[in-house]
Chain A
Amino acid sequence: MGLISSKRMATALAKSTPAEPRAAVSATEMGARQREISVSEFFTKNRHLLGFDNPRKALLTCVKEAVDNALDASEEAGILPEVVVTLEVIGANGEAPPPASQATRFRVTVTDNGPGIVRHQIPPIFAKLLYGSKFHRLRMSRGQQGIGISAAGMYAQLTTGKPVQIISRTGARAAAHYFEVQIDTKKNEPRIFESKKIDWEHPRGTQVTLEIEGRYQKGRASVDEFLEQVAIANPHVKLLYRTPEGETREYPRTITELPPQPREIKPHPYGIEFGILLRMLHDTRGHSLAGFLASDFSRVSPPVAQEICRTAKLSPDAKPRNIHGAAAEALYKAIQATRIMAPPSNCISPIGEKAILHGLYKQIKGEFYTAVTRPPAVYRGNPFIIEAGLAFGKTPDQAAAATVAEAPAVPLAEGEERDDDDELARVIRYANRVPLLYQQSACATFKAVLETAWKNYGIAQSRGALPAGPMVVFVHMASVWVPFTSESKEAIADYDEIRKEIKLALQECGRRLGVFLRRRERAKSEFRRRNIFDLYIEEVVEACARLKGGRLPKEKLKTQLQRIALKRTGGARTDEILGKNSGPEGLPHSIIVTAEGTEGEAPVLPPAAGSAGAAAASAVERDEGEAAKPAATARGKGAVRQLRPIRGGKAPAKGPAAAAKSPAKAKKVPPHPKRRGR
């Protein structure tokens, strides 16, 4: 923790600016000079790398960084997050603010109920690039590098000249601190404009306010979309969004359990690169090579360490510091050649099928929902978990409204067809619970969606296109290190292992969707069968009456024909075929919404609680206990874990695990002093 050493920072920057010499130990002076220039240079010249390409994206990035920080901090402190995002339009030079769609200046305020920040850490956190707690540990979190919020502050400074305003309070008994800070871009040090104690209505939490140049537009890749997607993947968050148009949107919390705390792990030997190995050899506190291997890596036991040394033809007692050049290279090769257990996966906390299901159900109106969490897998020594979800269809109300609204008004002319849904599916992508909104087509997720053979599941798909239909495809990758294609974290790199896992998850979702669609089709055709006869009887009777020159007791003929029709379609038996009395087809982790009601593990939504409400709620809590256990417990088979719908009132008592877990933890963990984005 604490400050990143200058050397490390240079290393980090070297990734994006190749001009910088890497780990130049000798040229200390030169290195220091270059660093001072680089902070502002790097940012002003390369702001697109950090997501500030254009005003619209910049607005989104600012919100994103602030929200990511708020959630990371709250979760780490064991607090159920409550976040308020406010966007306000600012008029230039005190003029009346223009309408939101025309505005170019915005004030972004993000308030959380997190642990707060201790006073002296506030300025560096918000006004010093590459300062943070998340960069040099292998632990799943939203932010990683310690650039994000400071970069947002710097963007504000660049475009409006206004400092970042922060209010933070670590508890009801502590005072709230108000700061106004900016970055001294030459020194990469905070400049404090204002620092005072103030009265704040919140007992605990942090509030960041940025005034920036931006553009507010709805639709794709907008702030609105981002927050909606945050709500989907984080159903434990209570989110309030005040739009620049003065509207207030509330995303309620549907899960009252925090996701399990991901553990911090040591790097897995397969995942490190040669340069990093060299650095680790240099920095280690271990006295022998074998000891270094066993203590600084995960999954390397003393016997394995011995084996590596044997393979590398190096003495296990050699001093790590003395290994470089050819010896280091031999060691690196030996590591790759040795069989080492896959890294532990308790460092990752998946969202969980329940939570995904709840998130989708809450935010997206549809008929069918399902979610799959894959067992952990490994790419380049980094453990990861893929989760996928699907929301499909229109709600019965919507569908009915659509048909009723258009149909009678415009009968079809020859050659016309009723619009079947030719819209394409929407893919929503997440990395460590953060929505990815840009560069969709470069993302492994998107490619996996394209490669999945949706036709097998009854969904139309043209060659090389997204599947068609009213559908939202959800994909989440959780990992200690998500491989992004660029610094601005917009797309997941296309590793075979990752793509394969995504496809497996999507295929399972697809299979369940297929089962649902077949059932719906069956129900529809039965319904149609009945309808058809009713409809046609009317026509036939009328035509017969005309043929008979009007001398026909129409009602009698109609009744007779209807009686035959009923007999032929099996009357009450049809209800059974319609599946009115069966559960959601034995599908695990799925919700089916029909005109009759909701089946499956649906959460209770505050405004309109369904009939199955109470029962479903207890089911939720019970299952959360289960899901809260470390993700590592054999999920392979667990993915098909059958969760029968609970329809009657017979919900078993809450598991003790669920009750005990989070509150206890929340008390133990002190307010976290440092929090960093990116």
Chain B
Amino acid sequence: MRRNLILLLCSGLLLALPLFSTGPASAGPQGRLVYWVMVDLVRGSVQATATVCAQTNVFKHGEEVVWRARVLDVASSEDPGDGGKNLVAIQERGLKVTAYLENGLSLPLRYGQHPGRATPGDPVAWFWATGWKIPDDFPTGTLKWWVVVTDKTGAFVRFDPIGAGANLPAPSIIVERR
């Protein structure tokens, strides 16, 4: 009888053991990145003084700063919107992508097809984008920016351009006189 009791206890321990082993996989580090966020700036077509759609962080008054962001789920390395085929998934996740300027301005990015009007057969990409036309009277100088991705689960991923926080010329938007 006593022997059986010991065996039952051992069995219980054996059963409980796998439950402890799942700890790291399910919990994950607190700072875990849920989304892989890539952002760049390009020159929009509005009153452009140089190549349109080229990457730059130097803009003239009246030009348009365009933020482009690609957001991938790190668990699958896939676009949650599945290249435009699963817009419902984006709504269900409550995915929001917002660009912020240090002057307090915030601009929501929209998930869409690029180029917007593609000729049938042309390859397109789906990503997040928004534009900001720099007012003609906007003060010249530099302007820090960043992009934040959030979802319904409380995920929060912030993207800062490379070199942000350091004394480097690249990270900020540079506004110049026309």
A, B bound? no
